């Protein structure tokens, strides 16, 4: 597996983990508050959207210009 493909796999896993964290905070806010994670609620969604935008940019623009 090349470094380019590992980067894409890592991005997908990061988005899935962050989306799961965001979903957990929305579906179980009492558990998130008990764990002390509730203040991170708006940032988790923002990070997920940012990672998605970066992933699309990487695949569409950056990956096409990288030498094989």
Buried b (16+ CB within 10 A) or exposed e, 13-52: ebbeebbebbeebeeeeeebeeeeeeeeeeebbebbeebe
pLDDT in tens, 12-60: 999 999 999 999 999 999 999 999 998 998 899 999 999 999 999 988 8
- pLDDT tier at 68 (50, 70, 90 boundaries)? low
Task: Write out the H or E segment, with its range, that includes residue 38.
Answer: none
Which pTM value belongs to this model? Answer: 0.81
Measured CA distances, 9 to 20, 25, 37, 43 (Å) = 17, 25, 26, 22
> 37: helix, coil or strand?
coil
């Amino acid at each position: 597996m090349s470094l380019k493909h590992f980067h894409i796999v890592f991005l997908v896993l990061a988005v899935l983990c962050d989306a799961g964290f965001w979903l957990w905070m929305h579906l179980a806010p009492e558990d998130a508050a008990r764990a002390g994670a509730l203040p991170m609620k708006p940032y988790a969604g923002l990070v997920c959207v940012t990672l998605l935008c970066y992933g699309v940019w990487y695949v569409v623009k950056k990956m096409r210009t990288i030498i094989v």
